[in-house]
Amino acid sequence: MTDIHDRVRGAVLASALGDAFGAPYEGGVAERLLWAVLGGRSGKRRWTDDTQMSVDVIESLLACKKVEQNDLARRFARSYRWSRGYGPGAGKLLKRIRQGTSWQIANRTVYPNGSFGNGGAMRAAPIGFFYGAERERRLVRAVRDATVVTHAHPAGQDGAVVIALTAALVCQDCPVREILKRLRLHIQTVDLQNRLAVAERLLRAEHPVLPKQVASELGNGIRARDSCVTAFSIGLALREAPFVRLLKYIREVGGDTDTIGAMAGAVWGAACGYRQLPEDLLKRLEQRQFLEELACRFADAIVQEHF
Ligand code: F2R
Ligand code: MG
Ligand code: MG
């Protein structure tokens, strides 16, 4: 088993764990109650739209060997179930695609300027691994192509670039300073650029930064600008800490905990690999075997393609 294989597998599983263990803490009282009912049915930790859409992306990449927008749209629409807790706009958009509207029209019908939610970023890390950081511009183009299917707004796409490029660079043990430099070259929106500047300051801080400070300075909300750099920063800051500490930190940051967990989990997994994941958490993950097999096939394909 190569190092890269372990890291890709680790990132896919850590992202699913971050989603499933973050989900019970997402949102307000009503959302938590609903999730307690839905999530408690199988006796396992149930994952949400974040993992479902990541599965769709991985299966599409394995089938098409590249980002193929029509295939992604079909898979996203086919997999949609309200009970996985999709974003409100995303749910409407996917139902329209299922009814026959093309994604090029559907992606601007709910919000005429496109969605700037974090739903494109939460599923972006696999694209980073698949394309690899060696050909950075090709990677960024592929991420934007995959994201625009549901998130036409540039901020939704910038969030996805932050997560995918970071995951790919972390896989190569790229230093944080260099990751920030590379991200700045590709991020188009002022909001995300500003968030990166704040993250750089926090990552350089001499003392550990408290979760509350991360939430107030980088955000913890459902919009890409309020969660993607947050997850980036947490994943990098805690990449040498045990996975359970990452989960605890994310709970304390609060807000969109499943998605911050999924994105920070992918960054953490790319740094630490599968072997560092706690078995007792994996045992409690819904459809563990299915996710493990998929992650393994995906890692096989990446190793064959790049190495
Ligand atoms: N659905 C959830 N969580 C339920 C909690 C909802 C919460 N009370 C709330 O609405 O704040 N989680 C899942 O959704 C997130 C991913 O969402 P995605 O796929 O980006 O969906 P959507 O609907 O396109 O965007 C999310 C929200 O962002 C705002 N928004 C986006 N674009 C906008 C625009 N152009 N103009 C105005 N608002 C825009 C809206 O409030 C959207 O509902 C993940 O957290 C996933 O776990
Ligand atoms: Mg979710
Ligand atoms: Mg979420």
Q: What are phi and psi of 249, to 5 degrees?
A: -60, -45
pLDDT value, residue 26 = 87
Angle between the N-to-C axes of helices 228-237 and 190-204, in degrees from 0 to 180, rounded to the nearest 10: 20
pLDDT value, residue 285 = 97
Give the CA count within 13 Å in the CB-facing half-sphere of 129: 33
Give the amino acid at 71: D
pLDDT value, residue 31 = 82
Q: CATH no. for residue 176?
A: 1.10.4080.10
Cβ neighbours for 207, distance < 8 A, ≥ 6 positions apart? none
Q: H helices within 99-153, ranges in order?
A: 103-106, 125-131, 136-148
Whether the CB-CB separation of 42 and 18 falls below 8 Å is answered with: no
Query: Which atom of ligand 1 is nearest to 23's Cα?
Result: 47
Residue 109 is part of which domain span?
Answer: 2-306
**Alpha carbons 149 and 141: distance in angstroms, whole number:** 13
For residue 294, with 0-12 CB atoms within 10 Å meaning exposed, 13-18 middle and 19 or more buried, which class applies?
buried
Both tokens assigned to 124: 């972006």
pLDDT value, residue 1 = 54
Q: Which of 81, 191, 222 to mutate to test the pocket of ligand 1 (most atoms within 8 A of CB)?
A: 222
CA of 227 to the centre of ligand 1 (A): 11
CB of 85 within 6 A of ligand 1: the answer is yes
How many structural domains does the chain have? 1
pLDDT value, residue 2 = 65
Cβ neighbours for 280, distance < 8 A, ≥ 6 positions apart? none
Whether the CB-CB separation of 43 and 289 falls below 8 Å is answered with: no
CB of 226 within 6 A of ligand 1: the answer is no
Q: Which of 46, 79, 115 to mutate to test the pocket of ligand 1 (most atoms within 8 A of CB)?
A: 115
Q: Please report, in tens digits, the pLDDT of each residue of the chain (307 residues total).
A: 569 999 999 999 999 999 999 999 988 888 888 888 777 777 899 999 999 999 999 999 999 999 999 999 999 999 999 999 999 999 999 999 999 999 999 999 999 999 999 999 999 999 999 999 999 999 999 999 999 999 999 999 999 999 999 999 999 999 999 999 999 999 999 999 999 999 999 999 988 899 999 999 999 999 999 999 999 999 999 999 999 999 999 999 999 999 999 999 999 999 999 999 999 999 999 999 999 999 999 999 999 987 6
